[in-house]
Amino acid sequence: MALERELTDAAGMGRGTLRIGVAPSRGQVVLTPVIESFRKSCPGIRIRLVEMANDMLWTALARDEIDLVLARAPEALPGIACIPFAEEYSVLYLSDDLAEALWGEKKEEILSSLSERNRELPESFAECPFLLNSESDITGALARRLFRDAAIDPVIAVESESMGTMLKLCVDGAGAYFCPESLAEKLLPRSAQKKLHRITFEDGKYEISFGYQKSAERWSMIGRFIEEAFKSRGKKFPLAKP
């Protein structure tokens, strides 16, 4: 397949399939406008989106099951080129109704104490039901790390990779939910956001990057797609990290 792409590039044919791996919901929020503009400039390239949890994406890339990844990059990536794309913040959302049910008259006092960026999850969440992504997901891993550090055995109400479903459950008061702030703001209407309290943590900040195999650099469509993504945010396309 790699040879076929190089020959296609050399002939200026601009045809083929670009396989892009991305976490569920991030593709909907981040990549939709990029795909639309890329398809206009490269109509002969078919996009195949592969949605899975963060860690699984990099494994699939290493196995040449996908061509391009947009996710949080692990530290050691032999043979993989990474281009930082954007910062995200995972925050904890809970509805006002759930806060009232948990803390009653102490609700305002507890929420006020959590208004700054927190180092750990407070004991006041020991009885709180949680909505969790899997541990291979960025926010799922953050949640479990905070549980361990606080020695909290969490009450897990629902586990799912569907961010849209989990946010709806969170708004309805079914549980507290760790979620990337930028994605929640895109997926939820303003009226629903007003029903939620947002709690931030020092460990919640992370970077998502484009990644691809260095051996695939000659296939120009990978670079063209990344460049289109940066244009969509008014940014200049930088060089890849070695």
pLDDT digits (tens, 9 = 90+) for 135-187: 888 899 999 999 999 999 999 999 998 899 999 999 999 999 999 999 999 99
Q: Is the pLDDT of residue 23 over 90?
A: no
Q: Which domain holds residue 224?
A: 2-87+208-232
pLDDT at 14: 66
- 198 in the same domain as 105: yes
Q: Is the pLDDT of residue 242 over 50?
A: no
Q: Is the pLDDT of residue 10 over 50?
A: no
CA distance 143 to 177: 9
pLDDT at 217: 56
pTM for the full predicted model: 0.82
- 142 in the same domain as 93: yes
- 185 in the same domain as 138: yes
- 153 in the same domain as 194: yes
- 170 in the same domain as 92: yes
Please tell me the total count of domains within the chain. Answer: 2
- 190 in the same domain as 133: yes
Is 185 inside a domain boundary? yes
Is 195 inside a domain boundary? yes
Query: Using H for helix, E for strand and C for coil, what is the string for 99-166?
Result: HHHHHHHHHHHHHHHCCCCECCCCHHHCCCEEEECCCCCHHHHHHHHHHHHCCCCCEEEEECCCHHHH
Is 239 inside a domain boundary? no
CATH number at residue 51: 3.40.190.10
The overall average pLDDT reported for the chain is 88
